[in-house]
Amino acid sequence: MYRLPLLLPIAALLAFAASGPFPDPAVDAPKAAAKTRAVAVFAGGCFWCTEAVFESVAGVEKVVSGYSGGKASDAQYKVVSEGRTQHAEAIEITYDTSKVTFGQLLKVFFAAAHDPTTLDRQGPDWGKQYRSAVFYNSDEQKKIVDAYVAQLGQAGVFKDKIVTQIVPLEKFYAAEGYHQDFVRNNPGHGYVMQNVPQKIKKLKTLTPELVKK
């Protein structure tokens, strides 16, 4: 995996600029009365990390690491990781809408999975392939994410401005097989050990009600 060397202490790189508690979305879809599957696509830096966070969320059934934002011919790790495409490293989340809402997934995304205030950067990783983005697949998803970003801004949750792109989903491309469930399969990997535990800690601390039992 092409990752830039760490130039700053890990704690500093992963300290989000939050200055207040994370509110629940004021605008959200209601939970379904019966089990119904839906899909959300988020980009928040290294997909190893974001995949690991959302695999720990109650109601999430499957998380696939991949690419979104670019062309099918460019959906290959080597060129994406070098910043030579329009793709972002992204994850496709399949979830049960009777157990978790799109708005609650957004809460996890902004509170624990990544820092939405750093442009084209997440922790030690730099480049547009690591940008923050929500790829909405319906008018309802766009309405909810637009409202939540505005809500977080008005509440002053972050010290800096949220730079997350909110763009329509054109296509999601699954990444190569060895990227799937990477954290689960490689718990001793140096990058994993340095970057993932802090995110899981944030998940459990800031959104404990959404963590799988």
- Residue 49 catalytic? no
Alpha carbons within 13 angstroms on the beta-carbon side of residue 115 total 24
Choosing from 41, 46, 108, 203, the catalytic residue is 46
Among the ranges given (2-11, 54-63, 96-105), the one the predictor scored with the smallest mean pLDDT: 2-11
**22 pLDDT tier (thresholds 50, 70, 90):** confident
pLDDT for residue 184: 96
- Nearest CA to 51 among 39, 69, 64, 38? 64
Integer distance in angstroms from the first to the last C-alpha of the chain? 31
Domains and CATH numbers, the chain: 30-208 (3.30.1060.10)
Q: What contacts 53, CB < 8 A, 6 or more positions away?
A: 108, 112, 113, 199, 200, 203
If you average pLDDT over every residue of the chain, what do you get?
A: 92
Q: What is the pLDDT averaged over residues 172-187?
A: 98
Q: What is the H or E stretch that residue 139 is in?
A: helix 139-155
- What is the DSSP code (8-state) at residue 37? E
Alpha carbons within 13 angstroms on the beta-carbon side of residue 204 total 10
Q: What is the pLDDT averaged over residues 62-87?
A: 97
Count of all residues that appear for the chain in the document: 213
pLDDT for residue 134: 98
Q: What is the pLDDT averaged over residues 69-97?
A: 97
pLDDT for residue 2: 44
Amino acid at position 196, single letter: V
pLDDT for residue 202: 95
Question: Quick one: CA dihedral 36, 38, 44, 50, positive or negative?
Answer: positive
Helices (H), 7-94: 10-14, 47-54, 77-81
pLDDT tops 70 at residue 17: no
Per-residue pLDDT tens over the stretch 35-74: 999 999 999 999 999 999 999 999 999 999 999 999 999 9
Task: Give percent of the chain with pLDDT exceeding 70.
Answer: 90
**Judging by DSSP bridges, how do beta strands 132-136 and 165-168 pair with one another?**
parallel
Per-residue pLDDT tens over the stretch 116-173: 999 999 989 999 999 999 999 999 999 999 999 999 999 999 999 999 999 999 999 9
Q: What is the pLDDT averaged over residues 161-190?
A: 98
